């Protein structure tokens, strides 16, 4: 019975580790140069964002590589543009790594919603993605600004806060 348990555990561990390797195959590997290549790489961008969201920040080397590729993709993208407003990202002062996650969430929302440019929804998606990484607490400093945003989100008031915080156009 003990041998069967060990064998089942080994199979489960191998299956899970092979899944994580397979997911890495679908991540960004280079920054495209043409609009068509950018559009073709969008599924890899979403996979990279999902991977960054789920992977602990203490996996430094691969994380740095994926973050650099993602930021380069965002900067050069002909379809995605991010409008940063310091009032909606106060949590980046203590945790600059959360800025990349904010941009990642914004980008994923934009790509999954027909290149949306809705500043409220894009900010909301960016903040919620940063929250996911913040809540893991690995290589992240406690921050009262993020705690306030989490409390607003828990009360269902985060979207309204964003509407009130963004400048009127």
Compute CA 167 distance to the chain's CA centroid, rounded to the nearest angstrom. Answer: 24
pLDDT of residue 80: 96
Are the C-beta atoms of residues 54 and 27 closer than 8 Å to each other?
no
CB atoms within 10 A of CB 153: 16
pLDDT of residue 168: 83
What's this model's pTM, rounded to 2 decimal places?
0.83
Residue 53: Cβ-neighbour burial (10 angstroms; 0-12, 13-18, 19+)? middle
pLDDT of residue 16: 37
Helices (H), 26-59: 35-54
CA distance 17 to 150: 32
Cβ neighbors of 47 (< 8 A, separation 6 or more) are 23, 26, 27, 28
Low-confidence residues in the chain, pLDDT < 70: 1-25, 57-58
pLDDT of residue 58: 67
CA distance 152 to 83: 22
Report domain extents, the chain: 2-165
Helices (H), the chain: 2-25, 35-54, 60-76, 97-112, 119-136, 144-154, 158-165
pLDDT of residue 128: 98
| Token duo for residue 49 | 């964002």
């Amino acid at each position: 019975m003990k041998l069967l348990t060990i064998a089942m555990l080994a199979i489960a561990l191998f299956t899970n580790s092979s899944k994580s390797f397979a997911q890495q195959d679908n991540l960004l590997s280079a920054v495209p140069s043409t609009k068509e290549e950018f559009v073709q790489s969008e599924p890899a961008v979403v996979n990279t964002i999902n991977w960054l969201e789920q992977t602990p920040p203490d996996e430094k080397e691969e994380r740095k590589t994926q973050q650099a590729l993602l930021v380069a993709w965002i900067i050069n993208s002909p379809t995605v543009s991010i409008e940063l407003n310091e009032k909606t990202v106060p949590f980046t002062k203590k945790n600059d790594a959360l800025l990349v996650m904010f941009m990642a969430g914004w980008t994923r929302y934009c790509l999954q919603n027909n290149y949306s440019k809705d500043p409220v929804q894009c900010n909301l998606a960016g903040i919620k993605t940063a929250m996911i990484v913040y809540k893991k607490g690995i290589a992240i400093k406690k921050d009262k600004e993020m705690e306030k945003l989490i409390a607003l989100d828990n009360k269902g008031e985060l979207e309204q806060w964003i509407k009130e915080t963004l400048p009127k156009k």
